Amino acid sequence: MKPLLLSAAFALLAGTAFAHVSLEAREAPVGSTFKAVLRVPHGCEGKPTIKLRVQIPEGFIGVKPQPKPGWTLQKVKGAYAQAYDYYGTPMTEGVKEVIWEGGSLADDDYDEFVLRGTISAALKPGETLFFPVLQECPDGAVERWVERPAKGQSSETLELPAPSLRLLPKSGS
């Protein structure tokens, strides 16, 4: 009976973890190019997702989103909090938010939304970058995947955690 209970607990935890919008890769080195694949495992409690808004964390620069057939792509640009070195050129502004809209992700379907950028070498290994996501539905409801854990708290304990990326030391260091 104990193995059966253990299997059920794993199934429940796996289902819970999979239900969140998350990043496919959860670690990357500072100073590297990173392909952020946002996994969206479902629509909105019986309704489709019609818009996905992703806030770009400070220090993730040179962002280029991947267009999706059937979805309109919008890049909201703004100033960075500081200048970042981007291949020898100071970069003071860039994409701060990416919006895909006009498509339809049914509640019982899964999809991925992709963007690429550079993790600034000015960031510190051990830090975590958060990519808050708003998942919008046709009835105006919004799932806000924006929660960040308090110091010492695990993201796994949050109801609506923001997708996160743990920064590793620069490759070769």
Residue 46 belongs to a domain: yes
Q: Which of 15-29, 88-102, 144-158 has maximum average pLDDT?
A: 88-102
pLDDT attached to residue 1: 41
pLDDT attached to residue 153: 86
Q: Is the pLDDT of residue 3 over 80?
A: no
Residue 173 belongs to a domain: no
- CATH no. for residue 140? 2.60.40.2230
Q: Is the pLDDT of residue 17 over 80?
A: no
Q: Which two tokens stand for residue 131?
A: 């990519």
Residue 81 belongs to a domain: yes
When pLDDT is averaged across residues 138-142 and rounded to a whole number, the result is 91
Residue 147 belongs to a domain: yes
The total number of structural domains in the chain stands at 1
pLDDT tens digit sequence for 65-77: 999 999 999 999 9
Q: Which two tokens stand for residue 28?
A: 């990357």
Q: Is the pLDDT of residue 2 over 50?
A: no
pLDDT tens digit sequence for 112-136: 999 999 999 999 999 999 999 999 9
Buried b (16+ CB within 10 A) or exposed e, 113-123: bbbebbbbeeb
Residue 120 belongs to a domain: yes
pLDDT tens digit sequence for 50-98: 999 999 999 999 999 999 999 999 999 999 999 999 999 999 999 999 9
Q: Is the pLDDT of residue 6 over 70?
A: no
Do the beta carbons of residue 138 and residue 48 sit within 8 Å? yes
The secondary structure of the chain, three-state, reads CHHHHHHHHHHHHHHHHHCCCEECCCEEECCCEEEEEEEECCCECCECEEEEEEECCCCEEEEEECCCCCCEEEEEEEEEEEEEEECCEEEEEEEEEEEEEEEEECCCCCEEEEEEEEECCCCCCCCEEECCEEEECCCCCEEEECECCCCCCCHHHCCCECCEEEEECCCCC
Domain that holds residue 8: 2-168
